[in-house]
Each structure stands twice: as structure tokens, then as C-alpha cells.
């Protein structure tokens, strides 16, 4: 079934929608013509809900997937929201450039949904799902050169083991990497998800297999590596903080422990006073600059998981900027944001 055969609402179920709308739009009523940025627009399930809940707001929708961006733009027109919506074709770590290109200096709320969109999962030719046989592609942006097939064909055994262990938290990372190198030496490169499934199935002992497909952690690791997701996230969050108005909010949905750890660590920098524990008076410049809005992470309840199994691993966190960033933090965030760009080895294929 192609995308054209299905309605967008059928193939896309926004996760924790009510919570996201409350957190993103909750502080906008006191602002005139507020600006929301959805860094992971997808099929605009969350974005349309934000604009309906905040009728004076405008929304900048960023997505690296041109197909999803086109469908989201069409949906905005159908919903009568197009006049308050600006689509931007870019990866989210070009956040600052996206705002500059649209003459926007500061924003009031920024949302990120770090999961794969239903479009990417359900279109088998994209190769994200281990449930269907497909080419080993896994690119969110099909204009980049690095694919999962190239990773499996060209990375060393040591590098493959590293990404499976770090990004997939795979216990059998080393034997899987060893088997991949032996396979490509004897049989040629792996080219389909079925071949990768078969290989992993041969390596992982039945007594130690996780629930579901034993290759799911390997697929996850390859997707993160191909798209440079964790690096992009780490350099996007500082860009967002630098562009927030006072009272602005950052709202992030994560689906992987390393993503959530990155988000949690970033937010924690602004949630505590930066002074020794026994200091009797906290100077203004050392006061927290974030206020936590979620008291840890919000998770999907049993009802939502039953309706949308993809929500089972979600962790939703949000903070509000309570005062201007301290100068040292501003410089630190600026350095992190400018440390590298998306035109790195993930988009050019260099450095493999």
C-alpha cells in the first residue's frame, strides 16, 4: 500500500498528544503572536494540534524528509492552517540557520519528537523496519550518501561492534560484527533486511534473545549511525536554548535510552543552582535558568500503548527558560552549537 492510498491520520498516530499540546502551548496565552518550532515535523500530527490550541501562534516545521514535509504541508492546507505555517526542509541541527533564513530571532516553544515517523516505518522501501524485507537504506534524508548497506559493507569489525554496543545496547555486539565481516568476505555485502535478520538470528543464542525480533537492537543502532541522530541532538539542544525567549519552552519526546540521557543531561544543566551545596546565599547569576515542567519523564499509559504500541518506550521531558542564560552558559552553548555542522561524514559519506 502506498502513501497515496492512505489518509495521513491513518498512518500517523501522535504519541502523548494531549500532554505535548499542554506543555508546548501552556505558556503561550500571555504572548502576542508567539512562534512555535516543531523540529521533527513528520506528518504534522503534533503540529496541527499545536496551531489549533494556540490560534494566534505561527509554526515553523522542520523536517529532513522531503516526502514527509510535502505531505505535512498538504495537511496544513487541508486543515486551514497554512497561513500560520512555514515548512523548512533541513535536518534539525540546522535549527539556528532555519530561524535566520526566516528572519526569526527568538521563539516561544520548541518541540522535538525523536521517534521515527509512521511514514518512515510503514514504507518498506525505506528499510527501517526489521519486519519487512527491504533494501538496507535507513536514510531519513534520501539525498545523503551514507546508508545502512554502506555501513555494513565498509565499517571495520571494531567499528561495527562499537555502534551495536553503544547505540543498540546489544550484548552480542562483537560476535555479530565478526559474523558480518565473515559474511561479506565470503558471500558479498549484505543488501537486504532479511539477510541481516538471518545473520543476527544465527549469532544470538536462543536463551538470550530479547522479546520480539532478535535483530531489533542492531537495526536501531544502524539507524542512529546512518542518520547521526545522537550527535545532531547534542548540538541542537544548545541552539534551541540560545533562541528561546524568557518563558520559552523546550519539549522533547525520546524513545531510546541514549536519546533520553542526552536530553535529561542537557536540561539538568539549568535546573540546579551552580554553587556549592553548603553556600547560604545563592547569587542571582548562579540561580537555575530552567524550570522543570514534567517532574522527570512522562510515559505512555497502558491505554495508549494498547492503541499505539510505538509509544511504549516514549519519555517526554519539558523545561521552561525562567531567566536569560548566564554569560558563561551562553558561550558554552554557542561553542557546542558551532562545533560541527550536518555536512559531516553522515551526509557526505566521508570518514568511514
Tens digit of each residue's pLDDT (9 = 90 or more) over 10-42: 556 799 999 999 999 998 977 889 999 999 999
Q: Is 181 exposed, middle or buried (0-12, 13-18, 19+ CB in 10 A)?
A: middle
Of the listed ranges 56-70, 78-92, 122-136, 296-310, the one predicted with least confidence: 122-136
C-beta atoms surrounding 274 within 10 Å: 16
Supply the pTM of this predicted model: 0.85
Question: Is 2's pLDDT higher than 90?
Answer: no
How many whole angstroms from its chain centre is CA 252? 8
Rg (C-alpha) for the chain, rounded Å, is: 21
Residues annotated within a binding site:
44-46, 63, 92, 113, 120
Nearest CA to 267 among 338, 229, 321? 321
pLDDT value at residue 344: 45
Q: Quick one: what percent of the chain has pLDDT higher than 90?
A: 70
Q: What would the mean pLDDT of 121-137 be, rounded to a whole number?
A: 64
Q: What would the mean pLDDT of 194-220 be, rounded to a whole number?
A: 88
The residue written with cell numbers 542512529 in the block is 224
Confidence of residue 339 (pLDDT cuts 50, 70, 90): low
Q: What would the mean pLDDT of 37-51 be, rounded to a whole number?
A: 97
Q: Which domains occur in the chain, in start order? A: 3-119+229-348 (3.40.50.150), 123-227 (1.10.150.170)
Residues annotated within a binding site for S-adenosyl-L-methionine:
44-46, 63, 92, 113, 120
Amino acid at each position: 500500500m502506498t502513501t497515496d492510498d492512505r489518509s495521513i491520520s491513518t498512518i500517523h498516530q501522535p504519541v502523548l498528544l494531549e500532554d505535548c499540546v499542554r506543555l508546548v502551548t501552556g505558556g503561550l496565552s500571555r504572548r502576542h503572536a508567539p512562534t512555535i518550532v516543531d523540529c521533527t515535523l513528520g506528518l504534522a500530527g503534533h503540529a496541527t494540534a499545536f496551531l489549533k490550541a494556540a490560534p494566534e501562534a505561527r509554526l515553523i516545521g522542520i523536517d529532513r524528509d522531503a516526502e514527509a514535509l510535502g505531505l505535512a504541508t498538504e495537511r496544513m492546507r487541508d486543515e486551514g492552517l497554512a497561513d500560520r505555517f512555514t515548512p523548512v526542509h533541513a535536518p534539525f541541527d540546522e535549527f539556528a540557520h532555519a530561524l535566520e533564513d526566516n528572519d526569526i530571532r527568538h521563539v516561544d516553544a520548541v518541540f522535538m519528537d525523536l521517534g521515527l515517523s509512521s511514514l518512515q516505518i510503514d514504507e518498506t522501501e525505506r528499510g527501517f523496519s526489521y519486519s519487512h524485507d527491504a533494501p538496507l537504506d535507513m536514510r531519513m534524508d534520501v539525498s545523503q550518501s551514507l546508508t545502512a548497506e554502506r555501513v555494513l559493507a565498509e565499517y571495520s569489525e571494531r567499528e561495527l561492534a562499537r555502534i551495536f554496543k553503544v547505540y543498540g545496547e546489544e550484548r552480542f555486539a562483537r560476535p555479530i560484527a565478526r559474523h558480518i565481516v565473515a559474511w561479506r568476505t565470503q558471500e558479498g555485502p549484505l543488501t537486504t533486511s532479511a539477510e541481516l535478520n538471518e545473520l543476527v538470528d544465527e549469532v544470538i543464542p536462543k536463551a538470550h534473545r530479547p522479546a520480539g525480533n532478535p535483530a531489533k537492537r542492531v537495526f536501531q543502532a544502524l539507524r542512529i549511525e546512518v542518520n547521526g541522530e545522537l550527535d545532531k541532538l547534542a548540538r541542537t539542544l544548545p541552539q534551541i536554548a540560545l533562541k528561546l525567549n524568557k518563558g520559552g519552552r523546550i519539549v522533547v519526546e525520546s524513545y531510546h535510552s541514549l536519546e533520553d540521557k542526552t536530553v535529561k543531561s542537557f536540561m539538568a544543566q539549568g535546573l540546579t543552582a551552580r554553587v556549592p551545596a553548603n553556600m547560604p546565599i545563592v547569587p542571582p547569576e548562579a540561580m537555575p535558568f530552567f524550570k522543570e515542567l514534567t517532574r522527570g519523564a512522562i510515559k505512555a499509559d497502558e491505554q495508549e500503548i494498547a492503541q499505539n504500541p510505538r509509544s511504549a518506550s516514549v519519555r517526554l521531558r519539558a523545561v521552561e527558560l525562567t531567566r536569560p542564560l548566564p554569560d558563561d552558559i551562553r558561550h558554552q552553548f554557542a561553542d557546542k552549537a558551532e562545533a560541527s555542522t550536518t555536512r559531516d561524514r553522515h551526509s557526505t559519506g566521508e570518514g568511514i
